[in-house]
């Protein structure tokens, strides 16, 4: 079940759901808008000729109030808001329609697990032939919350728990028994 603005407001008032800093205009009928932070990562293209899943990726870190994403380019960013989900609620990260209409694709692997806490790392892709200038503090995505049929027995405690600022891929830390 998707949670309404009434339910989200009540959950925040009781401290069950945390979105900080929170401004009333961020609350939508069935979601909460999140704003772009001022911290960014881009893959250091000069550090390697191939990105590998079994080795750390090198990134260039930037802190700025405005950033330009060149055409057909990828960038990691963080939300301004720090969120904490209860263990019986999950959230979907969706780009705002107004953002998609200018050709900016916003992802976060699309999913926030129950029990997650931290700033969200957003994956931004400019699908245009023109650069896009972004300003920190602007609403860029939204969280749509859904209540689970029951609280999870295994809340999220993964490698991105508690993150501040954008965090690059840590796929190299994955243990996959079928990996050669």
**Domains in the chain, please, with CATH?**
5-45+59-150+162-168 (2.70.40.10)
Q: What is the DSSP annotation of 131-166?
A: -EEEETTSEEEEEEEEE-SS--SS---STTTT--S-
Which pTM does this prediction carry? 0.92
The pLDDT of residue 174 is 87
* 92: three-class secondary structure by DSSP: strand
The pLDDT, as a whole number, for residue 172 is: 86
The predicted pLDDT at position 88 comes to 98
Q: Which of 16, 94, 117, 123 is catalytic?
A: 123
65: annotated active-site residue? no
In the chain, which stretches have pLDDT less than 50? none
Condensed to tens digits (0 to 9), the pLDDT of residues 131-151 reads 999 999 999 999 999 999 999
Bridge pairing between strands 104-107 and 117-126: antiparallel
What integer pLDDT is reported at residue 108 of this predicted model? Answer: 72
Strand runs (DSSP E) across 44-129, as ranges?
59-63, 66-69, 74-84, 89-95, 104-107, 111-112, 117-126
Coil, strand or helix at 169: coil
């Amino acid at each position: 079940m998707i949670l309404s603005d009434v339910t989200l407001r009540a959950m925040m008032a009781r401290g069950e759901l945390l979105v900080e800093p929170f401004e009333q205009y961020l609350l939508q009928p069935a979601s909460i808008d999140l704003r772009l932070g001022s911290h960014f990562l881009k893959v250091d293209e000069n550090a390697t000729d191939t990105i590998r899943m079994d080795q750390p990726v090198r990134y260039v870190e930037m802190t700025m109030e405005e950033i330009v994403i060149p055409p057909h380019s990828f960038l990691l960013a963080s939300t301004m808001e720090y969120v904490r989900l209860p263990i019986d609620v999950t959230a979907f990260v969706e780009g705002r329609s107004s953002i998609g209409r200018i050709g900016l694709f916003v992802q976060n692997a699309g999913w926030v697990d129950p029990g997650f806490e931290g700033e969200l790392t957003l994956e931004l892709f400019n699908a245009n032939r023109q650069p896009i200038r972004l300003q920190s503090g602007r609403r860029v995505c939204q969280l749509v919350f859904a209540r689970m049929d029951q609280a999870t027995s295994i809340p999220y405690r993964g490698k991105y728990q508690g993150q501040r600022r954008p965090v690059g891929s840590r796929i190299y830390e994955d243990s996959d028994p079928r990996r050669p």
